[in-house]
């Protein structure tokens, strides 16, 4: 039986713009099961980025409930959300978000500093995931010594290092050329095949085709939620 890792019920998110209340999410219901590979799509203004921020525990809803891996995170305080983010979610960003004066190894080990691991274990686990993403010979390199694709591989390794429940990737190929994009998406396929739950936020149809399920938002509601019977390899 499929095990839900994300259960969202009646989620709304409103923002105050001057004296006007802007309703961005308008009652989202969504279940994502452990081990799924989901693409989240939508045009500008659809609520896609707002939903991603809620899924990533970077924001809390105006109303509704969000159960993440058995925990109700919808009304948690900022410090509680920070702990959940560090333990449960591995982020991959379009702009890599690496520390420029820090080696690949230390960039990858950083989430484990916040999680309280000792340096020997941090280095051992960072070495393992960097090897997993094919960068065993680049561990002592700083970001400016790496190509765009290699920097994104460092970011993917950093996302994996705390063994999170979910890998949440926001436009992970947005700054990459088409050949490198294919390589990075091949890496996400490997990550998914290893049992990870992957949520990919993208506006590119060819990137969404790698996912096994495609959810489209429009005007703050889910417009469609379809299984991709022939995902890209």
CATH number, domain of 170, equals 3.40.50.300
SS3 179: helix
pLDDT on residue 136: 95
Q: How confident is the model over 12-44, as pLDDT tens digits?
A: 999 999 999 999 999 999 999 999 999 999 998
CA proximity to 190, closest of 108, 134, 121, 116:
134
Mean per-residue pLDDT of the chain: 94
Residue 132: inside a domain, yes or no? yes
Residue 127: inside a domain, yes or no? yes
- Determine what percent of the chain is predicted with pLDDT higher than 70: 100
- Determine what percent of the chain is predicted with pLDDT higher than 90: 89
CA–CA separation, 232 and 173 (whole Å): 15
Distances (CA, A) of 210 to 9, 36, 182, 231: 27, 12, 10, 5
Q: How confident is the model over 176-223, as pLDDT tens digits?
A: 999 999 999 999 999 999 999 999 999 999 999 999 999 999 999 999
Q: How many residues does the chain have?
A: 233
Quote the number of domains for the chain: 1
Q: How confident is the model over 41-54, as pLDDT tens digits?
A: 999 889 999 999 99
Residue 161: inside a domain, yes or no? yes
Q: Which residues span the domain enclosing 82?
A: 34-60+77-227
SS3 195: coil
CA–CA separation, 232 and 209 (whole Å): 6
């Amino acid at each position: 039986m499929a095990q839900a890792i994300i259960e969202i019920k009646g989620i709304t998110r409103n923002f105050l713009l001057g004296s006007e209340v802007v309703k961005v999410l308008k009652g989202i219901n969504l279940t994502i099961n452990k081990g799924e590979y989901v693409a989240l799509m939508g045009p500008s203004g659809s609520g896609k980025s707002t939903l991603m921020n809620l899924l990533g525990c970077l924001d809390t809803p105006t109303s509704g409930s969000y159960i993440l891996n058995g925990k109700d995170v919808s009304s948690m305080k900022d410090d509680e959300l920070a702990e959940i983010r560090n333990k449960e979610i591995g982020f991959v960003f379009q702009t890599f978000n690496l520390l420029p004066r820090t080696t690949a190894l230390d960039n990858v080990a950083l989430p484990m500093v916040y999680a309280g691991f000792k340096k020997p274990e941090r280095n051992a686990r960072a070495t393992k995931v960097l090897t997993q993403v094919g960068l065993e010979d680049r561990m002592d390199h700083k970001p400016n010594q790496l190509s765009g694709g290699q920097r994104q591989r460092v970011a993917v390794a950093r996302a994996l290092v705390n063994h999170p429940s979910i890998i949440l990737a926001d436009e992970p190929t947005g700054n990459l050329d088409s050949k490198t994009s294919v390589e990075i998406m091949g890496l996400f396929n490997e990550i998914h095949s290893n049992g990870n739950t992957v949520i990919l936020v993208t506006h590119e149809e060819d990137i969404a085709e790698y996912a096994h399920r495609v959810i489209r938002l429009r005007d703050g509601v889910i417009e469609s939620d379809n299984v991709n019977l022939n995902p890209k390899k």
